[in-house]
């Protein structure tokens, strides 16, 4: 079954808006796992506007399912990953001032760099995933870089889903088939929500993991965190 990894960045965003440690991202991580999620994702950025490097160090020993750290592999990020040894590192090409991730890697143009990063992290026993747009060429490029998985950037799918869900998922299905043919595991994330998640998993049932943060935490404001995690798990199981 597709695993649900919850991105807890927005918990930290709320905390940072006020100062102090309320809500506590570490407690949220523990609770989210207890509510049934199969993983926790964090995306620390250099300005630490949400998850801080210190949060990552605190949360790591508390996670009992799977810990995924995503981000641009700048030197400080590489050092943090090497220190805490997550189960998975997801390489994302976001600029330091990006509001949120907005594109996947060009795995052809950046092959040398990404190959070095995959080799570095895999030597530490960390699964590597490369964030890519739904393009078979970029997926195959990720395989050539030595990645274990790709994560498909699903913003376009989420945007197009309300108008035509079959058309929206088509390029993702093609990219997912390329991943399977290349022997890559498959993750997906960005703007997946309770409306569009089930169709994505139904269409691409070999998806290993979805990483969901903004929508899930937003839904939790109305439903509560426990009921929201359960709702997302139910959507995944609809396949």
Query: Each residue of 9-24: pLDDT tens digit?
Result: 999 999 999 999 999 9
Q: What is the dihedral of CA 16, 20, 25, 27, to 10 degrees?
A: -160
Expressed as residue numbers, the domain containing 90 is: 3-237
Query: Residue 175's pLDDT is what?
Result: 98
Query: What mean pLDDT value characterizes the chain?
Result: 96
How many independent structural domains does the chain possess? 1
Model-level pTM? Answer: 0.95
Nearest to 168 by CA among 195, 130, 131: 195
pLDDT one-digit tens code per residue, 42-101: 999 988 999 999 999 999 999 999 999 999 999 999 999 999 999 999 999 986 666 566
β partners of residue 5: 39, 211
- The Cα–Cα gap between 218 and 236 comes to 18
Instruction: CATH number of the domain at 140, please.
Output: 3.20.20.70
Q: Which two tokens stand for residue 205?
A: 């049932």
Q: Which two tokens stand for residue 21?
A: 């440690």
Give me the active site residues, please. Answer: 43, 70, 190
Query: Residue 94's pLDDT is what?
Result: 81
pLDDT one-digit tens code per residue, 139-156: 999 999 999 999 999 999
């Amino acid at each position: 079954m597709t695993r649900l990894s919850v991105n807890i960045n927005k918990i930290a965003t709320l905390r940072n808006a006020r100062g102090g440690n309320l809500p506590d991202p570490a407690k949220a991580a523990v609770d989210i796992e207890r509510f049934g999620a199969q993983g926790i994702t964090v995306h620390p950025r250099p300005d630490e506007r949400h998850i801080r490097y210190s949060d990552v160090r605190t949360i790591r020993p508390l996670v009992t399912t799977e810990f995924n750290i995503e981000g641009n592999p700048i030197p400080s990020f590489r050092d943090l990953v090497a220190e805490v040894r997550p189960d998975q590192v997801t390489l994302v090409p976001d600029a330091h001032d990006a509001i949120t991730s907005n594109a996947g890697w060009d795995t052809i143009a950046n092959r040398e760099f990404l190959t070095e990063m995959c080799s570095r992290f895999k030597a530490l026993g960390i699964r590597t995933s490369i964030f890519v747009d739904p393009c078979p060429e970029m997926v195959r490029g990720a395989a050539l870089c030595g990645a274990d998985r790709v994560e498909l950037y699903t913003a376009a799918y989420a945007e197009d889903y309300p108008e035509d869900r079959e058309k929206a998922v088509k390029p993702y299905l093609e990219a997912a088939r390329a991943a399977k043919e290349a022997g890559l595991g498959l993750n997906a994330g960005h703007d997946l929500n309770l409306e569009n998640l089930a169709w994505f998993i139904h269409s691409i049932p070999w998806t290993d993991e979805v990483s969901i943060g903004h929508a899930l935490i937003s839904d939790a404001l109305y439903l509560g965190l426990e009921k929201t995690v359960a709702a997302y798990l139910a959507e995944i199981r609809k396949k």
